[in-house]
Amino acid sequence: MAKQLIGSSDIISAAWKNLAKNWRVYAELVLWSIFVSLIFWTIGVLIRGYTDDRTAYKVLYSLATMPVSILVAIISIAFIDLTAKTLQDKKADVRESMRVGLHKLFSFLWVLILLALVNFLGLLLLIIPALIFSVWFAFASDALIVDGIKGRAALAASRELVVGRWWSVLWRILLPSAFIYLLVRFALALGYLILGSVLGDPGMFFGPMPDLYATSNLYTLAITVIPQAFFGCGIALVTAANLVLWFDLKKNPVSGPARP
């Protein structure tokens, strides 16, 4: 019989300790995220200077940023690879994790496509199947990047760990994720409040999103770059929480016939 899974509070604690212990390598990875956001911002500024047509802007922006999105995928893989190594007390190096991201890019994209198809099928079958599928396959990317399991086998490996304890896994995904999200949103709001106060308007970064054509480039730069610092830390925490749970599921497999 499988042992009791790690508790949600212990998952949050482990994720926080991992971030605090390895903040230097995560800071470097967050800088990569900020660099990519600067590329997106620069492309947006150049296209806004080229055309005033909003539809043309959206089309041109989507096309121009498509190659940059590859960097986003590589950084996403690097977050998982780096976090898995830090949790296992292995040597962690951002450049090496970025190389892993480049090496596993196409396999990662294929898994994302499979996940999108499965989730879309779940939505067609109504919300409950979609929720079941999302929990079943929550660890597919971990199986790919850490264990090297590709394609549909990665989804199957994730499901195998979840069946028989679906509800337990659901709450251990939801509670840490919700806590981290609220923590990051609070920190970001506080950061915006402080920056707005320094600039003479505490509420300038709050309220509805302003028209990009009616705001200064400095404002759009701030709302592009500043969130990356906070959400980068949030990604590190969520990734660690997901991996802590995944490692625990692997350590304590379900015995006997599995049921969702």
Distance CA 122, CA 134 (A): 9
State the sign of the Cα–Cα–Cα–Cα dihedral 236, 4, 170, 77. Answer: positive
Identify the DSSP state of 213.
Answer: G
Q: 127 exposed, middle or buried (CB, 10 Å; 0-12, 13-18, 19+)?
A: exposed
Q: Which residue carries 């923590």 as its tokens?
A: 183
pLDDT in tens, 146-202: 999 999 999 999 999 999 899 999 999 999 999 999 999 999 999 888 888 887 878
Instruction: Report pLDDT for 54.
Output: 83
User: Which segments of the chain have a pLDDT < 70?
Assistant: 1-2, 210-214, 255-260
Maximal C-alpha separation, the chain:
64
Distance CA 194, CA 128 (A): 42
Alpha helices in the chain (DSSP H): 8-21, 23-50, 54-87, 94-103, 105-124, 127-136, 140-147, 151-162, 166-198, 217-251
Identify the DSSP state of 202.
Answer: T
Q: 112 exposed, middle or buried (CB, 10 Å; 0-12, 13-18, 19+)?
A: middle
Instruction: Report pLDDT for 100.
Output: 96
CA nearest neighbour of 155 among 110, 104, 88, 103: 110
Instruction: Report pLDDT for 220.
Output: 83
Instruction: Report pLDDT for 71.
Output: 93
List all residues 6 or more positions away from 100 whose beta carbon is below 8 Å from its beta carbon. Answer: 77, 78, 81, 145
Tokens of 120: 């879309």
151: left (phi over 0), alpha (psi -120 to 50) or beta: left
> What is the amino acid identity at position 238?
V
Phi and psi torsions of 159, nearest 5°: -60, -40
Tokens of 156: 């199957």
Rounded to two decimals, the pTM is 0.90
Say if residues 91 and 106 touch (Cβ distance below 8 Å): no
